Amino acid sequence: MGAESKRQQKFARLVQKDLGDIFQREMQHILPNVMVTVTMVRATPDLSGVKVYLSFYNAPDVKEAINTVKLHAADFRYKLGKRIRNQARIVPELEFFVDDTNEYVEKMDKLFNQIRDKEE
């Protein structure tokens, strides 16, 4: 996969900002007491689809949380469409994924700490 064009990056930033807003203000009822962060958005070259990476804070079960979001994907797309209709010709299809970067970083930190402790 090549580098994203400026147009894709700009569109992805727009979608990220608006989806983040939707999660915080309009859709918090689908995951009560869970903070959802849109960590990254990647747009297809034709802007017809986006991959949305989410981070969940305070979620008892991350798999269940992402499945709940996927079940409501049409609602998110509709709300996004209402916000970006003046800036985009089409409302992209939304694909949601868990961003597990933080868990990976924590796991690596633990491993490095274990190695350092063994050396001392």
| Domains of the chain: total | 1
- Domain contains 1: no
pLDDT digits (tens, 9 = 90+) for 73-84: 999 999 999 999
For residue 113, with 0-12 CB atoms within 10 Å meaning exposed, 13-18 middle and 19 or more buried, which class applies? exposed
Task: Judge whether 69 and 63 are in contact, CB under 8 Å.
Answer: no
pLDDT-derived band at 2, boundaries 50, 70, 90 = low
The CATH number that applies at residue 78 is 3.30.300.20
Which of 8-12, 26-30, 93-97 is predicted with the least confidence, judged by mean pLDDT? 26-30
pTM: 0.81
Question: Does residue 62 form part of some domain?
Answer: yes
| Full domain range(s) for residue 115 | 6-119
